[in-house]
Structure 1
Amino acid sequence: MHPLIDVPALARLLRHDPPPVLLDVRWHLAGPPGIDSYRQGHLPGAVFVDLDRDVAGPPGDGGRHPLPAPADFEAAMRRAGVSGDRLVVVYDDADSTAAARLWWTLRYFGHDRVRVLDGGFRAWNEAGRPVTDEEPAVKPGDFIARPARLPVLDAEGAASLAKAGTLLDARAAERFRGETEPVDPVAGHIPGARNAPTVGNVGVDGRFLPPALLRERFAELGATDAVDVGAYCGSGVTAAHEILALTLAGIPAALYVGSWSDWITDPANPVATGNT
C-alpha cells in the first residue's frame, strides 16, 4: 500500500461505508497542545491521538519518545477505533512529522493498512473541504499489537551503521553541528552520521517531494537501496518522517527510536560536532 494519500482520494474514501479510520495526531514541540488545534477544527470523523501519551512510552533511559509498551499502544488504538482490517489515515498540521511517527508505529506493531494525508490538515482546509469541531462517537476497534514488524536500531546498532552503512541525522543542521541544542542537555551528533534535515523532504506546502527527487537527495548522502540505512533525530519523531521519505524513495531503513536523547544517556557514547 502506498504510504501517502492526497485530499481528493481521501474525500472519496470518506464517502464509503465504512470509511477509513481518521486519526488526528497534531503535535507541537513548542506551542499549544495538539488537542487544542483538534478542538478548534478537524476533519469530520477524525479522532485525536496524543503523540506523547499514545504513540510513545514515558521518557527515561530509552529517550524522550521511546516505543510504547505493546499493551498500551494496543489499548490506545482500540480506543481510537482502529481495527486490523480497516484502513487508517493519519494526519497532522501539514508536513507529516507527527503523522509519520504514528504511521511508523502502527506499522511496527503490525498494521499494514496505514496512509498519511500528504499536506495534512492545511491541505484539506485549503482545498475547501469540510471541517468540524464535533468529536465523533467512537466504536472501539479490535487492533492487536504485534511488535517488531519493522527494523529498529539501538545505540550499538546506530554506531555500527554509522561506520558500515549510512546513518542519517534528521535534525536541523545547527543541532547536528552542535552549535545549539534547544531540547537535550548535550549538543552534537553520532560520529559518522550524515545530516539530512527533514525539512528537505517536503516542499513549502508541506507535501513530500516526488520519489525521484527524494532518491536523488538521499543518494547524495550515501543512502541507497544498495547499503544498510538508518535514521535518528532528537527523540525518534522526525526520524520517522525520514523513514517515510526513504520509503517513498524505495530505500529500506531502520529507525533508532531512542535517537539522540537515548544516545546521550550513556556517557561512554562519543559525541561529534561540526559537519563530520
Structure 2
Amino acid sequence: MKKSTIAIGVIAAVMAAGYVGYTSMFGAKAVQVSADVLNEKFNEYANPEAFISAQDLKNMMGTDADVVVIGALNPVKPDAPIEGSFSMWRNDYSAADGDYAFDGMRNSVDEMEAILSQYGATPSSTIVVYAANSHHDAARLFWQIKNLGHDDVRYLDGGLNAWMGEGFATGNANPTVAATNYVAPAPQVEADGLATLEMVIDAQSSEDWVILDTRGTNEFDGSTTVSGAFGPGTIPGSVHINWTQALNEDSTLKSAEELQALYGDVIKGKKVIAYCQSGVRSAHTQMVLEEVLGAEGIYNYDGSWIEYSYAHYEQTRSEVKVQNGKS
C-alpha cells in the first residue's frame, strides 16, 4: 500500500474521531422522558396547552394537522434538527445591526411575520418551538411568537434531547413549503409582557414590583462580565434565581409544586420583571411564571443587562444605578 494512501486513511480516521468527540462534547444529549409522566405534569400547569412531549409532537406531525415546528439551534454545534422542522438562530430573530447601539434585542413584528410566512404558518397554525440541551432559546422564540398575538404556541419539553431519546428521526429539515402571508393576529399584545428600561428604573423604588435576575451567580455577583455587556453588576435590589433552577437534571421542567416552592413567595402580590444578559434566559422564567404558575403581571426585559449596563457605563445615566459593579 502506498504511503500516501496510508496517510490519507490516518487523516480520515483522526478527523472522524475528532468529529465524534466534538459531537459527544457539544451536541445534544439524548434523554428518555415518559410521555405519560410529562402529560401528568402538564395537567398540573396553569396552561397545559403551552407544552408538548416529543411523543405527542411526533404523532401530531404524522397527521394532517396544521403544525409548524421551529428549532432555535446554534449552527456551530453539531445538532441535527428534528426531521421536517425549520431551524434558525438568534441572528434570525434579533434586531438588525444598527437598529440599537447594543446587541440582543428582538426583531420587529414585520420581520417575524416574514419568517413565519416563509415557514408556511398561518394565525391558526400550531407552532411548536424547541432547542437543545438548555432550551432557553426555545422560550425566547415562544415569547416572540406569543408577542404577535399567536394563540397556539407550544414549548417542546426536553427539546431535541427528548426527541433523540425516543429515537425519532433528525436531519432532513427546513422543508420547501408554500409561503403564506402571515399577519400577526394582535401585535399590540407585545407591550403586555415587555419591560423597558424606564419600567426597570421605576420598579426599583416601588414595593409593587420585584426584579428577578435569572443569570448565573458569577454574573449576578459581578465577578463575570459576559461578552456584549458594558460592565459587571446587577440591577439594584434584584432577587437572584438562576433560570436553571426551574429544570430537572434531564432538562425538562420541574413540577408545578416545585416551581411554586421556588418562585411563589418571591412573586406573591408583586408584578415581576425578569432579566438576564439579553432577554433569553429571562424569557424562559417568564414562560414558567405565566404558563406553569398562572402568574399575571410578568414582564421580560428585552434589553436586559446589555441595555442596562450600556445606560450605566456608556451613557453614564445617573438614574441607572448598578449593584456589584465597577467602582
Q: Compute the TM-score of the two structures, normalised by the length of structure 2.
A: 0.75
Residue of structure 2 in register with 1:239 after alignment = 282
**Aligned letter for 1:207?**
T
**Aligned letter for 2:284?**
H
Residue of structure 1 in register with 2:271 after alignment = 228
**Aligned letter for 2:62?**
R
The alignment yields a C-alpha RMSD, in angstroms, of 1.9
Flag the 1:56–1:4 CA change in 2: closer, same or farther, 3 A. Answer: farther
- Structure index of larger Rg: 2
Q: Any conservation in 2 of the 1:169–1:197 contact (CA below 8 Å)?
A: yes
Q: Compute the TM-score of the two structures, normalised by the length of structure 1.
A: 0.89
Residue of structure 1 in register with 2:188 after alignment = 148
Which of the numbers 249, 259, 276 marks the counterpart of 1:214? 259
Q: Which whole-Å CA distance do the structure 2 matches of 1:142 and 1:174 have between them?
A: 44
Deviations 1:64-117 (A, max 9, x none): 221212211211121122211110001000332000000000001111110010
Matches within 5 A, 1:149-168: 149=189, 150-164=192-206, 165-168=209-212
Deviations 1:130-160 (A, max 9, x none): 2233541122233213423132111120122
Deviations 1:165-222 (A, max 9, x none): 11101110110110111222200011111111111111111101111111110124x2
Structure 2 alignment gaps of length 5 or more:
1-46
Deviations 1:19-41 (A, max 9, x none): 410101113xxxx536x63xxx2
Flag the 1:89–1:55 CA change in 2: closer, same or farther, 3 A. Answer: farther
**Aligned letter for 1:147?**
P
Deviation at 1:56, TM superposition (A): 4.1
**Aligned letter for 2:117?**
R
Deviation at 1:163, TM superposition (A): 3.3
Which moved further from structure 2: 81-90 or 137-146? 137-146
Structure that is richer in helix per residue: 2
Residue of structure 1 in register with 2:230 after alignment = 185
Q: Which whole-Å CA distance do the structure 2 matches of 1:68 and 1:180 have between them?
A: 27
Q: Any conservation in 2 of the 1:65–1:235 contact (CA below 8 Å)?
A: yes
Same amino acid, percent of matched pairs: 24
**Aligned letter for 1:179?**
S
Q: Which whole-Å CA distance do the structure 2 matches of 1:243 and 1:49 have between them?
A: 22
Q: Which whole-Å CA distance do the structure 1 matches of 2:66 and 2:82 have between them?
A: 13
Report whether the alignment pairs 1:119 with 2:170: no
Flag the 1:112–1:67 CA change in 2: closer, same or farther, 3 A. Answer: same
Q: Which whole-Å CA distance do the structure 2 matches of 1:4 and 1:95 have between them?
A: 16
The DSSP-based 3-state class of the residue aligned with 1:116 is: strand
**Aligned letter for 2:86?**
V
Deviation at 1:55, TM superposition (A): 4.4
Q: Which whole-Å CA distance do the structure 2 matches of 1:255 and 1:58 have between them?
A: 22
Matches within 5 A, 1:101-140: 101-140=140-179
The DSSP-based 3-state class of the residue aligned with 1:214 is: helix
Q: Any conservation in 2 of the 1:55–1:105 contact (CA below 8 Å)?
A: no
Q: Any conservation in 2 of the 1:167–1:231 contact (CA below 8 Å)?
A: yes
Q: Which whole-Å CA distance do the structure 2 matches of 1:59 and 1:254 have between them?
A: 25
Q: Which whole-Å CA distance do the structure 2 matches of 1:109 and 1:131 have between them?
A: 29
Which of the numbers 101, 104, 107 marks the counterpart of 1:65? 104
The DSSP-based 3-state class of the residue aligned with 1:239 is: helix
**Aligned letter for 2:242?**
P
Q: Which runs of 4+ in 1 moved over 4 A?
A: none
Q: Which whole-Å CA distance do the structure 2 matches of 1:57 and 1:3 have between them?
A: 29
Q: Any conservation in 2 of the 1:57–1:67 contact (CA below 8 Å)?
A: no
Residue of structure 2 in register with 1:272 after alignment = 323
The DSSP-based 3-state class of the residue aligned with 1:166 is: strand
Q: Which whole-Å CA distance do the structure 2 matches of 1:62 and 1:243 have between them?
A: 25
